[in-house]
Amino acid sequence: MSHRIAVLDYGMGNLRSVSKAIEHVAGDAEVRVTDDHEFIRAADRIVFPGQGAARDCMIAIGEHHLNQAILEAARTKPFLGICMGLQVLMQHSQENDGTDLLGLFDGDVVRFDGKAIGDNGLPLKIPHMGWSPVDQSAGHPLWNGIDSGSRFYFVHSYHVKPKDASLTAATTEYGVKFVSAVSRDNLFAVQFHPEKSADAGLQLLENFVNWDL
């Protein structure tokens, strides 16, 4: 079965590592970094990465006319959001003096307050950068073969606060306990970078490629 995976390209950041990591686990699937609406509509799976500031992301999504395509894909086929690709699914971000997002999920994106003290006696650094444990909230096909508490690589200063607690697929501690993965039906979205998280990350991507709804 020929299998097509679209990595959504809206000009925010470098998508090469994401596409390379997916190609690494995707067998003979066609992995394309694209903003082509036809390809996105026809693709079997969608990966929605993103880096940078919330406002720039929203502007770039608008310029590529991807708002509807993203929302449609997020409701209809296996969909994996990564980093900003999780955050922009929420309603509103504190970033850039307040930015309206795609609004698929109720809830805000808030900044780490920088008040928590680390084990070396210094305030926790922002961004939260490095490998932190991801505690799985419930079983999910994308966690197959990955122990709860496995470390993944994070780089972010903001985190999501979904209102609906049943969306939470994992949490992580960094001064506060925050939601590091959400899932609903065909959608899974993570704050960390599976494409940079060595074996655990590749396992998650492989699980996504093999995820049958």
Q: Tokens 């449609």 — which residue?
A: 72
One character per residue 123-142, x = contact with other proteins (rule: CB under 8 A) = xxxxxxxxxxx---------
- Does 196 participate in binding other proteins (rule CB under 8 A)? yes
83 carries an active-site annotation: yes
Q: How far is CA 134 from CA 28, 106, 178, in A?
A: 30, 22, 10
Helix, strand, coil share (%) of the chain residues, nearest 5:
30, 35, 35
Under DSSP, the state recorded for 124 is P
- Does 110 participate in binding other proteins (rule CB under 8 A)? no
Buried/exposed code over 76-97 (b: 16+ C-beta within 10 A; e: otherwise): ebbbbbbbbbbbbbbbbbebee
Hey, which residues between 19 and 58 contact other proteins (CB under 8 A)? Answer: 20-21, 24, 51-53
Hey, which residues between 139 and 178 contact other proteins (CB under 8 A)? Answer: 149, 151, 153, 155-156, 173-174
Q: How many residues in total does the chain contain?
A: 213
Of the candidates 57, 83, 95, 156, the residue annotated as catalytic is: 83
- Member of 27, 114, 139, 145 binding other proteins (CB under 8 A): 114
Of the candidates 57, 95, 193, 206, the residue annotated as catalytic is: 193
Q: Tokens 């036809």 — which residue?
A: 38
Contact footprint for other proteins (CB under 8 A): 13-14, 16-17, 20-21, 24, 51-53, 114, 118-133, 149, 151, 153, 155-156, 173-174, 195-198, 201-202
